[in-house]
Amino acid sequence: MTAEPLVSVEQIAEHLGVTRDSIYRWIDRKNLPAHRVGRLWKFKISEVDDWVREGGADEHRGRD
């Protein structure tokens, strides 16, 4: 079984149809699942999709 590749902030923003700024804000305020690799944030698409399905991107959730 092959490990799921990690994608960049730009790639996950495009996948979700939002800006890079939204991704950074969601990491900070809404616990978007992200992995720190050195100075960069990386993401597993399956984890982010699960987070969205569970309501993680809901505007009324978190400290927004």
- Tens of pLDDT, residue by residue over 30-50, are 999 999 999 999 999 999 999
Quick one: pLDDT band at residue 60, thresholds 50, 70, 90?
Answer: low
- What mean pLDDT value characterizes the chain? 92
pLDDT at 44: 98
Tell me which DSSP letter residue 30 carries.
S
CA distances for 24 relative to 2, 3, 11, 48, angstroms = 28, 25, 13, 13
